Chain A
Amino acid sequence: MIRNPYRTQNIAFFFLLLATLLIVIPVGLIVVIIIQKGLPAISWQFLSDIPRQGMRAGGIFPAILGTIYLVAGAIIFALPIGLLAAIYLSEYSRDNLLTRIIKLAIVNLAGVPSVVYGLFGLALFVVFLKFGASILSGSLTLGIMILPIIITTSREALESVPQSFREVSLSLGASRWQTIRHIVLPNAIPGILTGTILGLGRAAGETAPILFTVAAFYLPQLPKSLFDQAMALPYHLYVISTQVPNVDEKIRYGTALVLLVLVLFMNLVAIVIRYKFRKKKKW
């Protein structure tokens, strides 16, 4: 019997397509179900009010605000350090054993479970540095968690700037720093921003790192300083889903929807920046 090569190909294509669909379907279902069940809860009151009746009614404003504070704090801490480290690794460091170990460590850091970051934050910031359970501790913990993402994407962005631009700039008598400042960085900024925003999305969605370091079970007033505890969306969702009995399903899915929209919106911004950059790319 002669085997038809096209049939083999068709079978292979079928399985490839199937695998792809299997990835897309769960994502689609999650989004659809959360929107379907959460949308009825969304109202101005839900977004702007504090939780009432033991979190069974009212809104989630303190949790939204807390998440925004935490994310902002994390980025203020992680972006400068991550960017500087990336510049050092991509522009200055020589390729030797030490820098290879550092790069490997950064990659591994990205794979550490988030609950481990939470414990680390508890030990270092809350207990040892005596920041207590506070926005500061939580921001720093989240910042450390997203550092590897920021360093890795920033390094990729810097390294994607053609080497020839650096040579041209140096050959004109510019110093290395001038070359980085005027040629490399401006052309890497979109990539760096993309990575930063992806890091933000990750920081906004994580529960474990904030569990021990900042998150309040229930806090009727808004945080007033860096050393206050705060509510945060992921933890609030966990609390009303498992710790408080008889919470209306609507409110739980509504909270999930707000969190999902926040994270997806950040990812969308990252995609738009990347898309615009690709279109504008001149070489």
Chain B
Amino acid sequence: MVIFSIKELNIWFGSVYALKHLTMDIQANEILSVIGPSNSGKTTFLRMLNRLNDLNQNFKMSGNIKFEQSDIRDMDTELLRKKVGMVFALPLPLPLSIFDNVAYGVRMHGLKNKNSTSRIVEEALKEAYLWDEVKDRLNESAFKLSGGQQQRLCIARTLAVQPQVILFDEPCSGLDPISTAKVEDAMVKLKQKYTIILVTNNVKQAARVGDRTAFFLGGELIELDKTDKIFTVPQDKRTDGYIRGKFG
């Protein structure tokens, strides 16, 4: 099933032409890895899907993106962002306690009941494999956690609002290999319930977790195929060059 359908999408920030003629479909319950060098439009692409680009006042676009058959510009932005969650490059806990960080989203959507809030927080933390490490100190500041724990907290925070899609923007760029492995584990398990779009600078990570991989270069989608194919028999010379580390 197609969850995102993108047609002839162009994006500009002022005079910078950031994304060019992008047409692609994203399937439900897949992990789509997005790779490419810096400034290739990966993050712009990702932030388009939950309309975070709209915060930049120089942002302009043409073309259209459909989320489950409806144009995202016709949808209520808050509802879209509720359904399409995001985990940022750096662990970004809000300046609140661990519990309140995870509860933030559902509270903003109007949940008042304390019991169901606690239940949702517990489930989200378990799903992000953080519960056992934090269950005794839920009221401590989220900034007291380690970097890897903070990032899993951010994942839990995103899961708590029960999205259908989770956008990961280089979620492991600030983490050590062990924390990275834990976050990757979480992602692979999350695939059963969620569609995952993973932007990463780490080509090996794309190969490890992605079902399909998209290669972006200079704002253009160069190639999109099954991850095995991209990494064994890429159709485009530039894809081949990038994954072999010849440039980028």
Contacts and interface: CB of A to CB of B under 8 A. Distances in A.
B157 interface: yes
Given A173-B82, A282-B95, A282-B141, 12 more contacts: A167-B88, A167-B92, A168-B154, A170-B52, A171-B81, A171-B85, A172-B85, A172-B108, A173-B161, A175-B108, A183-B95, A283-B95
A138 to B, nearest CB: 40
Given A170-B55, A178-B108, A282-B141, A165 B92 contact: yes
Interface in B71-113: 78-79, 81-82, 85-86, 88, 90, 92, 94-95, 104-105, 108-109
B143 interface: yes
B151 to A, nearest CB: 13
18 contacts: A95-B57, A164-B88, A166-B55, A167-B52, A167-B55, A167-B92, A169-B104, A169-B108, A170-B55, A171-B158, A173-B81, A174-B104, A175-B78, A182-B108, A183-B94, A186-B95, A187-B95, A283-B143
A86 to B, nearest CB: 19
Interface string A27-69: 0000000000000000000000000000000000000000000
Contact of A174 (B50, B52, B92, B105): B105
Interface in A128-184: 164-175, 178, 182-183
Interface residues of B, number: 25
A168 B82 contact: no
Contact of A168 (B57, B88, B141): B88
Interface residues of A, number: 21
A159 to B, nearest CB: 14
Interface in B110-137: none
The 6 tightest CB contacts between A and B, nearest first, are A173-B82, A172-B105, A174-B108, A171-B86, A173-B81, A282-B143
Contacts of A164: 88, 90, 92
A94 interface: yes
B57 A172 contact: no
Interface string B131-175: 000000000010100000000001001100100000000000000
Contacts of B85: 171-172
B173 to A, nearest CB: 14
A64 B56 CA distance: 50
A165 B143 CA distance: 13
B52 A173 contact: no
Nearest to A175: B78
Nearest to A281: B95
A175 B108 CA distance: 8
Contacts of A95: 57
Contacts of A169: 94, 104, 108
A170 B86 CA distance: 10
B78 A173 contact: yes
